[in-house]
Chain A
Amino acid sequence: EVKLLESGGGLVQPGGSLRLSCAASGFTFADFYMSWIRQSPGKAPEWLSFIRNKANSYTTEYNPSVKGRFTISRDDTQNVLYLQMNTLRAEDTAIYYCASDGGYSLFDYWGQGVMVTVSS
């Protein structure tokens, strides 16, 4: 069974930083593209970033809304996906999900999400 478990969320002041982690299990993590998506309360999901697998040189893509502030990375030895978030703003407040490709789409499987609140 595919499991994705996010952690690292919480309350942070504007301008601060946070690193999210996503622990994966139940599939061959190294083989698949991985993504981060966020969802503000009552809003549609917003794709943030994805990272390709080793076969595709771990290349990354970002939503322009976070490019230059957020960095996605992965550790295939530990089956963990990361999202480093810098210069956080109030509008970054949301539930952050990690998602994995499963052969159907980039977002076949989703974690339960972790809340990030940016407020003074």
Chain B
Amino acid sequence: DIVLTQAPLSVSVTPGESASISCRSSKSLLSSKGITSLYWYLQKPGKSPQLLIYRMSNLASGVPDRFSGSGSETDFTLKISKVETEDVGVYYCAQFLEFTFGSGTKLEIK
């Protein structure tokens, strides 16, 4: 089974500063079609998760370009530049080779 390990568990950020969240996979997420099957979701308080990044580094429609994704076959990073108060919530990475989610990283505002 593919396990996704996120770090840190939580992060507290001053508005306007940057934040980075790590996601490490126990196996390569590079599919036979050459697609890196790693996705990032944000679940705002009391809401359903929403897609931020697909296929490791592509911004979903309507997502501010303050969000960016990068990585390799097993190590991935979500970066949020110039954090805003609306970015508060739990960030999950997810892999779609076996459809599992990481345990989440809670972003709070200082």
Contacts and interface: CB of A to CB of B under 8 A. Distances in A.
Contacts of A105: 39, 51, 54, 96
Interface string A93-120: 0000100000011111011110000000
Nearest to B59: A104
A97 B99 contact: no
Nearest to B93: A44
Interface residues of A, number: 15
User: How many B residues are at the interface, by size bracket?
Assistant: 10 to 19
A36 B102 CA distance: 17
Nearest to A110: B48
B89 interface: no
Given A44-B104, A47-B100, A110 B60 contact: no
A106 B51 CA distance: 10
Contacts of B15: none
Contacts of A46: 101
B31 interface: no
Given A44-B92, A47-B99, A104 B104 contact: no
B103 interface: yes
A82 B47 CA distance: 22
Nearest to A63: B99
Nearest to B102: A44
* Most central of A44, A104, A112 by chain B CB within 10 Å: A44
Nearest to B1: A64
B97 to A, nearest CB: 12
Contact of B41 (A63, A107, A111, A112): A107
A56 B60 CA distance: 25
* Most central of A47, A63, A113 by chain B CB within 10 Å: A47
